[in-house]
């Protein structure tokens, strides 16, 4: 999976390379069998001077991927490279890593048609508020590896990457606790909107770029809550909180958290029910907001809130990983493996 910040940086670096006439190649993890630090969909852009943006492992594979990407820039051909970190006797990447996984990485020079189309698909994902599916041919004729054209018959093995919209956070209330919340969300790659209708409140806060500030819940324009939006209400005013919660419960936002203790939440929700008795309160409503991390400072509370949002977004229970019965990551389907058994791709 590609993080929002990596996605932005990769597209920007690809654009810059194109404007300068510099060479570049895009490396994409397309299959993992066993354990791996990065999962299918992780990407790294390699420039012709050896600089990289993004990552395909915890740092153990990047140097060799840079070398393979340099070859791809020279001959103009895409290729799939397999790394077996489970082989302790291979004398190479398996030795001492202990990851216990097999990783297939597609490397595409951006000078090729599929490589350019791949970057354009990533750019479309940045702009879209709907999930997109990107099909990459990863087994078959070497010259046809990469993005599948519309109407092109699907032959060979295909990796389908589901590109989700950039996560969005809407914070209602510009109190002192919104600064670390906004900063932490920006660091995670979220689009962040801070709303406060009270005169002067927004001007008192030091909000990081590129946070959007608004003075009305009903005038958000393109920033309206959607299925990929998390909302946190934190005005510290019962009446204002109630109006905000009522409004946001009518939207398709995937998460709605209310800051404050249980007795205050009861007062807020009593006002919501009086104003809108038929309004359903579903499991997406979280109060008290955040995971139980035991923190009390604004920064610790922001961490607890965003950790809960990530757990909800990823459909996880947010327990300790050491207590998880299954693997840390979901298994990669067999159909997504890049190289069929017994077949080697040029490297």
Beta strands in the chain, from DSSP E residues, in sequence order: 24-34, 43-47, 52-54, 79-84, 101-109, 132-137, 146-147, 158-163, 168-172, 191-195, 212-214, 229-233, 255-258, 285-286
Long-range contacts, 315-318 (Cβ 8 Å, 24+): 318/291
DSSP type of residue 283: T
Let me know whether 291 and 190 are in one domain: yes
- Looking at residue 298, what is its pLDDT? 95
| Alpha carbon 297 to chain centroid, angstroms | 27
Q: How confident is the model at residue 199 (pLDDT cuts 50, 70, 90)?
A: confident
Spell out the residues 6+ positions from residue 73 whose beta carbon is closer than 8 angstroms to its own.
23, 24, 25, 48, 109, 111
> Does 118 fall in a domain?
yes
Task: Tell me the β-bridge partners of 31.
Answer: 104
Weakest-pLDDT range from 157-166, 218-227, 322-331, 332-341: 332-341
Let me know whether 127 and 173 are in one domain: no
Task: Tell me the β-bridge partners of 147.
Answer: 136
Share of the chain above pLDDT 70, in %: 88
Tokens encoding 344: 């080697």
Let me know whether 84 and 204 are in one domain: no
The CA distance from 304 to 230, in Å, is: 14
Let me know whether 211 and 263 are in one domain: yes
Let me know whether 115 and 184 are in one domain: no
Report which of 143, 79, 73, 126 is spatially closest to residue 344, judged by C-alpha positions: 79
Let me know whether 179 and 314 are in one domain: yes
The CA distance from 10 to 53, in Å, is: 6
Distances (CA, A) of 238 to 37, 241, 248, 288: 45, 5, 15, 14
3 state SS of 63: helix
Report which of 120, 138, 182, 141 is spatially closest to residue 40, judged by C-alpha positions: 138
Q: How confident is the model at residue 93 (pLDDT cuts 50, 70, 90)?
A: low
Domain tally, the chain: 2
> Does 120 fall in a domain?
yes
> Is the model's pLDDT at 104 over the cut of 50?
yes
DSSP type of residue 186: H
Report which of 125, 106, 98 is spatially closest to residue 42, judged by C-alpha positions: 106
Domain that holds residue 267: 168-321
The CA distance from 182 to 201, in Å, is: 15
The CA distance from 213 to 238, in Å, is: 22
> Does 144 fall in a domain?
no
The CA distance from 215 to 67, in Å, is: 51
pLDDT tens-place string over residues 173-196: 999 899 999 999 999 999 999 999
> Does 346 fall in a domain?
no
> Does 291 fall in a domain?
yes
Let me know whether 9 and 92 are in one domain: yes
> Is the model's pLDDT at 242 over the cut of 90?
yes
Spell out the residues 6+ positions from residue 48 whose beta carbon is closer than 8 angstroms to its own.
17, 22, 23, 24, 70, 73
> Does 147 fall in a domain?
no
10 Å Cβ neighbour count for 223?
16
Let me know whether 279 and 207 are in one domain: yes
Spell out the residues 6+ positions from residue 135 whose beta carbon is closer than 8 angstroms to its own.
147, 148, 154, 158, 159, 160, 161
Q: Of 68, 103, 131, which residue is a domain's last?
A: 131
Asked if residues 35 and 101 have their Cβ atoms less than 8 Å apart, the reply is yes
Asked if residues 120 and 129 have their Cβ atoms less than 8 Å apart, the reply is no
Tokens encoding 23: 């060479």
Let me know whether 120 and 265 are in one domain: no
> Does 87 fall in a domain?
yes
pTM of the predicted model, to two decimals?
0.88
Q: How many residues does the chain have?
A: 347
DSSP type of residue 28: E
Asked if residues 137 and 47 have their Cβ atoms less than 8 Å apart, the reply is no
> Does 102 fall in a domain?
yes
Let me know whether 37 and 111 are in one domain: yes
Q: In degrees, to the nearest 5, what angle opens at C-alpha 306 toward C-alphas 327 and 53?
A: 70
- Looking at residue 151, what is its pLDDT? 65
Let me know whether 187 and 309 are in one domain: yes
Pick the more confident residue, 92 or 87: 87
Let me know whether 14 and 113 are in one domain: yes
- What CATH number should be reported for the domain holding residue 212? 3.40.50.720
pLDDT tens-place string over residues 323-345: 888 888 766 554 444 444 333 34
């Amino acid at each position: 999976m590609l993080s929002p910040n990596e996605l932005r940086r990769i597209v920007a670096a690809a654009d810059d390379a194109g404007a300068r006439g510099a060479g570049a190649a895009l490396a994409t993890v397309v299959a993992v069998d066993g354990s791996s630090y990065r999962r299918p969909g992780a990407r790294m852009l390699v420039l012709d001077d050896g600089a990289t943006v993004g990552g395909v492992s915890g740092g153990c594979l990047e140097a060799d991927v840079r070398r393979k990407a340099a070859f791809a820039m020279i001959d103009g051909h895409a290729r799939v490279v397999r790394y077996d970190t489970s082989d302790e006797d291979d004398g190479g990447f398996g030795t001492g890593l202990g990851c216990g996984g097999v990783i297939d990485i597609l490397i595409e020079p951006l000078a090729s048609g599929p490589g350019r189309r791949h970057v354009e698909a990533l750019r479309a994902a940045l702009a879209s508020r709907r999930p997109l599916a990107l099909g990459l041919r990863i087994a078959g004729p070497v010259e046809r590896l990469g993005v599948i054209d519309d109407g092109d018959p699907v032959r060979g093995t295909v990796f389908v990457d589901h590109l989700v919209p950039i996560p969005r956070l809407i914070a209602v209330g510009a109190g002192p606790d919104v600064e670390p919340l906004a900063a932490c969300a920006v660091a995670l790659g979220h689009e962040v909107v801070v709303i406060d209708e009270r005169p002067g409140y927004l001007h008192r806060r030091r909000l990081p770029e590129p946070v959007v500030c608004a003075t009305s819940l009903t005038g958000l324009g393109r920033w309206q809550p959607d299925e990929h939006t998390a909302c946190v209400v934190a005005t510290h005013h019962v009446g204002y909180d109630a109006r905000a919660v009522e409004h946001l419960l009518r939207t398709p936002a995937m998460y709605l958290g209310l800051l404050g203790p249980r007795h205050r939440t009861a007062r807020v929700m009593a006002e919501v029910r009086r104003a809108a008795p038929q309004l359903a309160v579903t499991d997406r409503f979280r109060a008290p907001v955040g995971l139980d991390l035991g923190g009390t400072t604004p920064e610790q509370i922001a961490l607890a809130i965003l950790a809960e949002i990530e757990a909800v977004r990823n459909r996880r229970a947010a327990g300790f990983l050491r207590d998880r019965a299954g693997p840390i990551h979901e298994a990669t389907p067999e159909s997504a493996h890049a190289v069929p058994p017994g077949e080697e791709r040029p490297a």
